[in-house]
């Protein structure tokens, strides 16, 4: 019983880290405004890379914290800090832009 409680606690903790939004078809449509041939698979790769690399120095900054233009500046800087290559960088950029804050988006 003791172990069960401990295990549940650990599980809850592990899950709480993964509250990043999951991309769906509507995010593909959103991201396609900037990246015309983007796919759902690419957005999912971006999410995975984000999860693995973007909480080492600070907790996750959610994709909707920044506008598309802000992310265009932040991601290259953070990816160089995280020592990620250009391919990984492009997946992460597509992922965050798919969920970015609306204000500077073209209609």
| Cβ(88)–Cβ(41) below 8 Å | no
Q: How far is the CB of 9 from ligand HEC (least distance, A)?
A: 27
In angstroms, give the least distance from the CB of 84 to ligand HEC.
6
Residue 95 tokens, joined: 């992922």
Nearer to ligand HEC (CB atom), residue 78 or residue 97: 78
Residue located via tokens 């959103």: 30
Which of 92, 93, 97, 98 contacts ligand HEC by CB under 6 A? 92
**Cα 68 from Cα 49, distance rounded (Å):** 18
Answer yes or no whether residue 43 interacts with ligand HEC by CB under 6 A.
Answer: no
């Amino acid at each position: 019983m003791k172990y069960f409680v401990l295990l549940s606690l650990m599980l809850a903790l592990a899950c709480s880290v993964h509250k990043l939004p999951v991309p769906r078809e509507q995010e593909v449509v959103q991201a396609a405004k900037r990246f015309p041939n983007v796919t759902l698979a690419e957005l999912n790769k971006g999410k995975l890379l984000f999860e693995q690399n973007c909480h080492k120095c600070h907790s996750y900054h959610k994709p909707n914290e920044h506008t598309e233009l802000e992310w265009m500046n932040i991601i290259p800087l953070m990816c160089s800090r995280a020592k990620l290559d250009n391919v990984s960088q492009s997946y992460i950029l597509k992922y965050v832009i798919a969920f970015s804050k609306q204000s500077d988006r073209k209609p």
